[in-house]
């Protein structure tokens, strides 16, 4: 897997620094759109990598405890990178009542009352 963090990319000599990249994210909508798409692809790659980790544990090539730590980190990163697909789902259960009461109508001035 050749997915690099923004911090690692910004530290590479032939790449722009991290602050430049974050400024572009704030000021260039087309760049932001491409970045967000790359984060989605990264999340899908992490999901594939989770399957590889599981296979390695089943084969006995990876310690299950180390695999659990790695899997938890990948799942967290996936949820942050692409929350629509991998984020926690929140359900709201509203059991309260809503009471609607009509507002009093003010009598127009000079109506005799």
pLDDT, tens only, 22-44:
999 999 999 999 998 988 888 88
Instruction: Domain of residue 37: give its range.
Output: 7-86
Q: Which position has the higher pLDDT, 25 or 6?
A: 25
Residue 94 belongs to some domain of the structure: no
**97 inside domain:** no
Residue (of 46, 33, 34, 32) closest to 4 by Cα position: 46
In a domain, 102, yes or no: no
Please check whether residue 17 lies inside any domain of the structure.
yes
CATH number reported for the structural domain that contains residue 47 in this entry: 1.10.10.60
Q: Is residue 12 part of a domain?
A: yes
Query: Alpha helix (H) ranges present in the chain?
Result: 6-11, 18-27, 29-59, 64-81, 83-86
Identify whether 19 is part of a domain. Answer: yes
Q: What percent of the chain shows pLDDT beyond 70?
A: 90
Q: Provide the number of structural domains found in the chain.
A: 1
pLDDT digits over 71-81, tens only?
999 999 888 88
Q: Evaluate whether residue 105 is within a structural domain.
A: no
The confidence score (pLDDT) of residue 87 equals: 83
* Backbone torsions φ then ψ of 77, nearest 5 degrees: -65, -40
**CA angle, 21 then 10 then 41, to 5°:** 70
Structure confidence by residue, pLDDT tens digits, 85-105? 888 877 777 777 777 777 777
pTM for this model (two decimals):
0.63
Structural domain includes residue 60 = yes
Q: Is the pLDDT of residue 54 over 60?
A: yes
36 Rama sector, left if φ>0, alpha if ψ -120 to 50, beta otherwise:
alpha
């Amino acid at each position: 897997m050749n997915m690099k963090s923004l911090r690692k990319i910004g530290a590479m000599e032939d790449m722009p620094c991290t602050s430049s990249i974050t400024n572009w994210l704030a000021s260039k909508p087309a760049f932001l759109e491409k970045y967000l798409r790359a984060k989605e692809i990264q999340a899908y790659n992490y999901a594939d990598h989770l399957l590889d980790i599981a296979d390695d544990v089943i084969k006995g090539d990876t310690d299950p405890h180390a695999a659990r730590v790695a899997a938890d980190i990948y799942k967290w990163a996936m949820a942050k990178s692409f929350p629509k697909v991998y984020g926690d789902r929140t359900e709201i259960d509203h059991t309260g009542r809503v009471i609607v009461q009509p507002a009093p109508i003010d009598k127009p001035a000079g109506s005799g009352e």
